[in-house]
Amino acid sequence: MDKAEFPPFSALARAVAASKAPPDYLGGLKTYVDMFCGIGGFHLAAKSFQMQCVFACDIDEEARKTYYHNFGIMPAGDITRIQGHQIPDHDLFLAGFPCQPFSIIGKRQGFCDMRGTLFFEIARILKAKLPRAVLLENVKQLATADKGRVLSCIISELESLGYHVAWKILNALDYGLPQKRERILIAATLDPFKEFPWPLGDKPMKPLAEILEPNPPERFYVSERIRQRRHAAHQSKYYPSIWHENKAGNISSYPYSCALRAGASYNYLLVNGDRRLTPREMLRLQGFPDTFEIISNDSQARKQTGNGIPVPLAIAGIKGILNVIRAAETSRKIKSA
């Protein structure tokens, strides 16, 4: 793979480098790369801090098309074919690396699954570029995979590169979204810290009624047979509600959604026991704005949103990193005064 394959990123990197210094609140973070970018949850979060994306990659062709349509950046493909020197210098490395090896839905093989080894592709690039900060995201099961040895391996690898590391499991419910989606965030900075300042998850949950579309197309409604069977098996205490059927066939309902999943059964989440979520509703549950345009079919939209990171969780992680860097820079200024 030749550098010439990435002219948009090279041009953007030069433009960013020549631009004015970032606002003080960015704490010296100006550029970022968006690895395993999906449709851009991390991108939206970093963009809210006025940072510039200089490189993105994802192996999924349909996700790349959606990303390009909304952000004007065509992500590169397979990370294993990308050399470190082909990636522009950057301040912040963002990656929601594949979660299937650690997910409760998958077989949880951890690093025994080839997708699990993709973390070492991250480590390879970090060693080549050594950005000032790193933020990684995965399912919460990563914390307990192989009795905690997988997470310990990741932390050790980051520390060997000179990073100070912290991790925490955050729930989208605590950051304003009506979706119970727990994700582990791993933050790493070259600047030291005693305790990582994770933003408090104390934002009121947006009511489900504000997420749901008033007149969804007929194709999202389940058959009368499925609807009757669900309503015969369960009566909800909430309206509106999202009904969840687990792998054992047990049905529960809440005034929020259980976690969106890319590969779960087609009808595992039903609004009021009657219909599936629309692509727009799924994007809203992930914190994507309505200005984000859907260009794929329903099946792809479901896959793409189910693989994404909730934007407010990504914002929380970036805020924590910015606070660490701001504190480090303030300390250096005081010492040099």
Catalytic residue positions? 99
**Phi, then psi, of 251 in degrees rounded to 5:** -110, 135
Contact of 294 with 225, CB cutoff 8 Å: no
d(CA 67, CA 37): 8
Strand intervals (E) in the chain? 31-35, 52-57, 92-95, 133-139, 164-171, 179-180, 182-189, 242-245, 251-254, 257-258, 269-271
Q: Give whole-number Cα distances, 134 to 54, 127, 314, in Å.
A: 15, 12, 12
* Helix (H/G/I), strand (E/B), else coil: 158: helix
d(CA 120, CA 103): 18
Contact of 88 with 68, CB cutoff 8 Å: no
* Helix (H/G/I), strand (E/B), else coil: 268: coil
d(CA 145, CA 290): 36
Contact of 242 with 173, CB cutoff 8 Å: no
Q: Where are the alpha helices (DSSP H) in 221-267?
A: 224-233
For the chain, give percent helix, strand, coil, nearest 5.
Answer: 40, 15, 40
Q: What are the tokens at 77?
A: 């493909």
Contact of 132 with 90, CB cutoff 8 Å: no
